[in-house]
Amino acid sequence: MPGGKTHETINITVLAAILAGIFYLTIWQETAILSRYMDAYTVITFSCSYLFSTFFLSPDLDTKSRPSKRWKMLRILWWPYRTIFKHRGFSHSMILGPITILLNFVLILYLLTLLSGVRLHSIPQELLIPATVGMILSIEVHIISDRFFSMVKSIF
């Protein structure tokens, strides 16, 4: 299995490839197909949530990992998650992984917004989809990387 740094490198490389593709389809290609569907805010929101997810919402939150340590004293908020899911269990499932991580994150966000008094409906709704897609994609890239490395390891 790749280590934390390798996972981050793989995720960032995939993001760079996606952004290069988006850039090509929105600017360089004559038809500019994607520019009809996304603007700069969408791409920035997608990229930021993808990076946030890479560094803070990794499926490896189910163990003592780099993303887990980045939560500092808020790490306790992931304790139920770590307790319920054993390492590389549900957290590393292609479907249940992103769902359980995002549900836990939404619960944490909800509690933090309640405590801080921030109104959730002040967040622009149109940015929720690119933010969610960015986070899910980052988690999926992690899971696919783990599976790929496991498969290669089983061959050799």
With 0-12 / 13-18 / 19 or more C-beta atoms within 10 angstroms meaning exposed / middle / buried, residue 134 is buried
Map the footprint of Zn ion across residues 69-128, applying CB under 5 A.
Answer: none
Which of 132, 140, 146, 150 is close enough to bind Zn ion by CB under 5 A? 146
Report the C-alpha gap between 134 and 36 in whole angstroms.
Answer: 19
Query: Quick check: 8 binds Zn ion (CB under 5 A)?
Result: no
Report the C-alpha gap between 74 and 108 in whole angstroms.
Answer: 10
Query: Quick check: 140 binds Zn ion (CB under 5 A)?
Result: no
Token readout for 8 is 């981050």
Q: How far is the CB of 124 from Zn ion (least distance, A)?
A: 32
Which of 43, 50, 60, 62 is close enough to bind Zn ion by CB under 5 A? 60
Token readout for 133 is 């897609």
Q: How far is the CB of 9 from Zn ion (least distance, A)?
A: 14
Residue ranges in contact with Zn ion by CB under 5 A: 59-60, 146
